[in-house]
Structure 1
Amino acid sequence: MALFYLLCCSRSDAINQHVHGIRHNGCFIKNAGSKAVQGITKSVRASARENGNGRLSDYESKLDDFYVNSRILFLNGELDDGVAYRLISSILRMKEADPNAAIKFYINSPGGSVSSGMAIYDILQSLNMPVETICLGQAASMGAFLLAAGTKGMRFAMPNSRIMIHQPLGGAHGQVSDIEIQANEILRIRQILNAHLSHFTGQPVEKIEKDCDRDYYMPPAEAIEYGLIDRICKTKTSDIPIAPIPPIS
């Protein structure tokens, strides 16, 4: 049996994961029988601390209710199954309250699990609610995918944020035949992600494939030109001039 995981996160964040095992393509593979990746996820909305019984504290429950009643989603940190579960739960609660009212989705994330991100994406796409996405800090990898997946004309970024796209990272450990199966699955997932990014941005799939071959960082202005976002949020200091970076020789 092969141990396999698939991530969509920045290489530096993957390397910084404190996981015992073999480093592969910027990520780590844990020993068989244990979780492949330890999610380090802290979020005001999406990953509140739980008490010993696995339940949210009274304060966190009230905060959770406040965000749901305000129709706000907040992804802050790495995306994993626990974060996806809480976000999807909130989305479904918002749908029950009003199936047509817009949602504000704040994103400050280095990315994470592809399957977790696609679960959030699919549930949002199955509903009629407009989704306003706002990048705070960074929206990298799967975070950038969710940012770009917002309703056209309602995708924003703060002036000092950054956006990064790249191909999914994966690893496998086991028999050769199992590794081959998982390698083909990674290629299939990459095609799905690239096709959707092409749809979000209007860029040809060939350009998406080329740009995602390595980490591709963009400031908000470039992200607008690329089609990942629509507008930059105004702040008190958003007009401060920034000198261009000289090329590295």
Structure 2
Amino acid sequence: MPIGMPKIPFLIDEDEDEDEDAKERNATWVDLYNVLYRTRSIFLGDAIHLEIANHIAGLMIFLTIQDATQNIYLFINSPGGLAVAGLLIFDTMQYVKPPVYTLGLGVLASMASFLLVGGEMSKRIMGPNSRVMLHQPESDYNGKDQMEEVFLDIEEIEDIREMVIKAYLERTRLTREVLNDQLERNYFMPATEAKYYGIVDEIGVKNLLGRLLDESASQDNSLDPDAPDEGASQDNSLDPDAPDETRPPKLR
């Protein structure tokens, strides 16, 4: 969590007859992320570990119970992290009923790229200046005195690696040959290449924020009821000026 996160006023029951000063006095001050959760937006902006994974999975389940018809938005900017924690979030995304948009911003490395791929098909979006880095699961053998423990650990990592590869093959246009090559080296893939291989479906999030606010306003009267309607079409949320690569990029 960033240092000095601001608190902002949130009106639970807004009275249209109140003036602005009265509204501010009656507002409940909450942190920024709390308000963003009310727009069904979840941010993963740190390394992936079990505490964060439990928090995100719990939020997705709560939002599903709250309203199973509204989209969930998962914003990702992460260096990756623990494989089992990433798998927890991935499985929850497949379990919940609402479509889960995944929006990649900044760097999406290792398990973070896996979560980007795990979003609802056709609803995986990436910023034009973002980078994806595929990486195989790793293990730390430190502190393991018995060779049997090391072999068991290697076997577990191989099982997880196969699960990750299977998901990539099912949800992208990556071949096993290209995937094996990518997993063995730290190659940062640009957005156009990620779209070509089917890791994401669209590049650019030009009008997504306006539509997100509209969807939230439709189910929460504490948000601005006068927000412009930009959500009539799913396609309008995407950047019409995003580049569309039709030729395979060169692997470096």
- State the TM-score, normalized to the length of structure 2: 0.68
Q: 2:175 aligns with which of 204, 223, 237?
A: 204
Counterpart in the other structure of 1:154: 123
**Cα separation, 1, equivalents of 2:77 and 2:33:** 18
Which structure's residues are more often helix, by fraction? 2
Counterpart in the other structure of 1:111: 80
Superposed counterparts of 1:209-228, under 5 Å:
209-228=180-199
Which amino acid in structure 1 is aligned with residue 189 of structure 2? Answer: M
**Cα separation, 1, equivalents of 2:134 and 2:76:** 14
Q: CA RMSD in A?
A: 2.6
Contact 1:43 1:76 in 2 (8 A): no
Counterpart in the other structure of 1:94: 63
**Cα separation, 1, equivalents of 2:99 and 2:74:** 10
Contact 1:156 1:231 in 2 (8 A): yes
Q: CA deviation at 1:138?
A: 1.0
Counterpart in the other structure of 1:244: none
**Cα separation, 1, equivalents of 2:175 and 2:69:** 32
Contact 2:72 2:101 in 1 (8 A): yes
**Cα separation, 2, equivalents of 1:174 and 1:189:** 23
Counterpart in the other structure of 2:221: none
Counterpart in the other structure of 2:132: 163
Q: Greater CA radius of gyration, 1 or 2?
A: 2
Q: CA deviation at 1:64?
A: 4.3
Which amino acid in structure 2 is aligned with residue 212 of structure 1? Answer: L
Contact 1:43 1:74 in 2 (8 A): no
Q: Which consecutive unaligned segments of at least 5 residues does structure 1 have? A: 1-41, 49-57, 240-247
Contact 1:76 1:107 in 2 (8 A): yes
Which amino acid in structure 1 is aligned with residue 125 of structure 2? Answer: F
Q: Deviations over 1:60-84 (max 9, x none)?
A: x644432222110100011111111
Q: CA deviation at 1:153?
A: 1.2
Counterpart in the other structure of 1:189: 160
Question: Bigger CA drift: 69-78 or 196-205?
Answer: 196-205
Q: CA deviation at 1:43?
A: 6.2
Contact 1:43 1:77 in 2 (8 A): no
Which amino acid in structure 1 is aligned with residue 188 of structure 2? Answer: Y
Contact 2:125 2:205 in 1 (8 A): no
Q: Deviations over 1:185-226 (max 9, x none)?
A: 111111111111111113223331222111221110010011
**Cα separation, 2, equivalents of 1:186 and 1:198:** 18
- State the TM-score, normalized to the length of structure 1: 0.68
Q: Deviations over 1:27-76 (max 9, x none)?
A: xxxxxxxxxxxxxxx469xxx9xxxxxxxxx96x6444322221101000
Q: 2:148 aligns with which of 177, 189, 192?
A: 177
Contact 2:100 2:119 in 1 (8 A): yes
SS at match of 2:81: strand
Which amino acid in structure 2 is aligned with residue 224 of structure 1? Answer: K
Task: Flag the structure with more relative contact order, 1 or 2, with Cα contacts below 8 A and sequence separation at least 6.
Answer: 1
**Cα separation, 2, equivalents of 1:142 and 1:86:** 16
Q: Number of matched residues?
A: 187
Counterpart in the other structure of 2:14: none
Which amino acid in structure 2 is aligned with residue 139 of structure 1? Answer: L
Q: 1:80 aligns with which of 39, 49, 55?
A: 49
